[in-house]
A = this chain, B = another copy of it.
Amino acid sequence: MQNKALRKAGLGIGEIAERTGLAPSAIRFYEDQGLITPLRTASGQRRYDRADIRRLSFIKITQSLGFSLADIATHLAGLPPDRPIRKSDWSRLSRGFRADLDARIAALTHLRDTLDGCIGCGCLSLTSCALYNAGDKAASCGPGPRYLMGDRAADIAETAPHRSAGD
């Protein structure tokens, strides 16, 4: 009887959805975005194997770390196309994300510390506030409130605090 799980042909979309905690619609969407490519039955239904649970979980994790699907897709594209994916493959991927993560944490921490300083020193009076410069820099370095203060925006927000890197 082997229940619902037809292990001959892999998992159906409902099944893998339940196991990963993702909605079927989300999984189909990921497929559209090239993040995962399941097999199809003769009648066109998607069939996933157990390795895909790991793949989808990895997507969830990295996404929760703040990466865009496009980012993730790029990274996943580095996985070997046909060979079964090993633990070492996932580790290599993780390391890539970690670097990015470090940068984001550093940027955020820097901004927070600057905000700290600003609260203490009262520079919210807008005379020479590093934060204003940071905000300015975040706005793609166009004309900003820069001329109202100093001009040392360059050393702040070199890495964007969120969204994709090329903001």
A binding-site residues for B, Cβ under 8 Å: 18-22, 53-54, 57-58, 60-61, 63-66, 87, 90-91, 94-95, 97-98, 101-102, 104-105, 108-109, 111-112, 115-116, 118-119, 122, 124-126, 131-132, 134-136, 138-139, 142-146, 148, 157, 161-162
A104 nearest CB across to chain B (Å): 7
* Contact pick for A132, options B57, B135, B161, CB 8 Å: B57
* B61→A131 contact, CB < 8 A: yes
Chain B residues near A19 (CB-CB < 8 A): 143-145, 148
Copies of this protein in the assembly total 2
With a CB–CB cut-off of 8 A, which chain B residues contact A91? Answer: 119, 122, 124
Known: A57-B132, A108-B108. 20 other contacts (CB 8 A): A18-B143, A19-B145, A21-B139, A22-B139, A53-B126, A53-B145, A57-B135, A60-B138, A60-B139, A61-B115, A61-B135, A64-B111, A64-B139, A64-B157, A64-B161, A65-B112, A66-B162, A87-B125, A105-B108, A105-B109
Contact A124 to B54, CB < 8 A, known contacts A64-B138, A105-B108: yes
Distance between Cα atoms of A97 and B19 in the complex (Å): 37
Residues of B within 8 Å of A66, CB to CB, are 108, 161-162
How far does the alpha carbon of A108 sit from the alpha carbon of B67 in the complex, in Å? 12
Tell me the complex Cα distance, A126–B51, Å: 10
Give the complex CA separation of A133 and B136 in angstroms: 38
In the assembled complex, the Cα of A66 lies from the Cα of B108 at a distance in Å of 9
Residue on B with the closest CB to A146? Answer: B21
Indicate whether A115 sits within 8 Å of B162 (C-beta atoms), given known contacts A91-B122, A139-B60: no
